[in-house]
Chain A
Amino acid sequence: MKKYLPVLFVVIGLAVILPTFFMSSEPEKLQLPDSLKGVFIDSPPMPIPEFTLTDQDNKPFTKNNLRGKWSLVFFGFTNCPDVCPTSMSVLNKVSKLEGIPKDTQYVFVSVDPNRDRPEKLKEFVSFFNEKFIGATGTAEELKKFEEPLGVIYDFEGDTSSDEYNVTHFAAIYIMDPTGNQRAYVLPPHSLAQVGEAYKLIYQHYK
């Protein structure tokens, strides 16, 4: 009997460890239909470090704000006339769709904190939807959030004037309730593309 003891331990050990391993494991990667272009899924999710930004009401906006619910995040600047308003208006339409969680957060992060003060952010985001969140912060804090997501941007023109432009990576990020990146959707954005991608990703990974 004694010589079987180690085997018994191994069997009991496996019986305890294996289920927890499978429970915490990543579901099989979702295969999206070919018709959905420009959607990239992270499997497992891309980890985002802790960061502290300021929201449109001058309150801190941290990684904790992303925990516990799904979020759709877009980076841009409020002086942007074409792409940012188009994507924001797509997000507003997505927020009204069936089949997605009603407590989804929609977050606009400005990469232009010099011009986009909280009050300006508030006016901008609430124009598209009263419930949308606007956030920005110091270059250092923005970097913590942006770098793992691959958001790159560049200021063009005289930044001491008011007329410079910001060239930026303009994807919409789908963040899961752990606050990490589950997918991103490349521009140009449409309701059909972002809405369908979010629905399928949420249903698969919820």
Chain B
Amino acid sequence: MRFLILALLIFTSFSAVSEGQLVLENGWVRAAPPMAKNLAGYGELGNNSSQSISIVSMSSPFFKKVEAHKTSFVGGMMKMQQITNMQLKPGVIFKFAPGGMHFMLMKPNRAITENLEVPIHLTTELGEKYTFYFVVKK
């Protein structure tokens, strides 16, 4: 019986991990000169659940403001726009990479040095909070 309960506990904890989950892989922030007021974070953000997940806000204790932005090039012209509707359908992976989508990290309140792990909090429409760590590198 004890074994059954344990097995059940393990099973439910595993299913809790794989259900309703956002995952981030290879999170990194591009190291910038100390005077930089804006930095960019990259990584692959995926939805491992069976339902759509909408991200309604993002923040970091190291920055005044965090937003998702998209860079686009039209005939060599660089344009940056905020992504306001961040909805990840099940199985979708958003690739945040240089020259495309990025987490725009504005006004750092501390030195953002190489190898530092920058926490970024994402809040979903249902009020779930996730914290992902982005390592600073060149």
Spell out A's residues near B (CB within 8 Å).
38, 78-83, 85-86, 89, 120, 123-124, 126-127, 152, 162-163, 165, 167-171, 186-189
Contact = CB atoms under 8 A, between A and B. Distances in A.
9 contacts: A78-B36, A81-B30, A86-B30, A89-B30, A167-B79, A186-B73, A187-B76, A188-B98, A189-B99
A99 to B, nearest CB: 24
Contacts of B73: 170, 186-188
Given A78-B35, A81-B39, A169-B77, A86 B99 contact: yes
B37 interface: yes
B95 to A, nearest CB: 13
B89 to A, nearest CB: 25
Pick the 10 closest A-B CB pairs, nearest first. A188-B99, A127-B33, A81-B38, A170-B78, A81-B40, A86-B98, A186-B76, A82-B40, A83-B78, A123-B33
Q: Mostly helix, strand, loop or mixed at chain B's interface? A: strand
A187 B32 contact: no
Interface in B47-106: 69, 71, 73, 75-80, 98-100, 102, 104-106
A170 B78 CA distance: 6
A196 B113 CA distance: 32
B77 A81 contact: no
